[in-house]
């Protein structure tokens, strides 16, 4: 139930994918290659591999709130795109 709610939230944030099913969202956005680096300033830098859907992710600004995540030892998640 939690995963279904997360997919609904993601679909609302991605322009043009408001009615997308979880399987489609997973295939196009979640199952994306990249790297994760732990920066010394308590940030997790997530760098996505080059994909045609990166402009949609960038426009959604999923990391825009800039809040620290308590269950990640108060690290902040930052996205970068190649």
Q: Between residues 22 and 67, which one has the greater pLDDT?
A: 22
Q: What is the mean pLDDT of residues 39-68?
A: 87
Note the pTM of the prediction, 2 decimals.
Answer: 0.72
- pLDDT classification of 43: cutoffs 50, 70, 90: very high
Continuous segment of H or E residues that includes residue 46: strand 43-48
Indicate if the pLDDT at residue 30 is higher than 80.
Answer: yes
pLDDT band at 53 (very low <50, low <70, confident <90, very high): confident
Where in the chain are the domains?
1-31, 33-82
Query: Is 62:13 a contact under the CB 8 Å cutoff?
Result: yes
Q: Percent of the chain beyond pLDDT 70? A: 100
Beta-strand pair 43-48/76-81 = parallel
């Amino acid at each position: 139930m939690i995963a279904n709610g997360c997919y609904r939230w993601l679909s609302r944030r991605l322009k043009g994918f408001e009615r997308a099913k979880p399987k489609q969202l997973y295939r196009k956005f979640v199952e994306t290659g990249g790297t994760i680096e732990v920066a010394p300033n308590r940030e997790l830098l997530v760098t996505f591999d080059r994909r045609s859907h990166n402009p949609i992710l960038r426009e959604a600004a999923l990391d825009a709130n800039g809040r620290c995540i308590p269950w990640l030892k108060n690290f902040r998640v930052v996205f970068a795109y190649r």
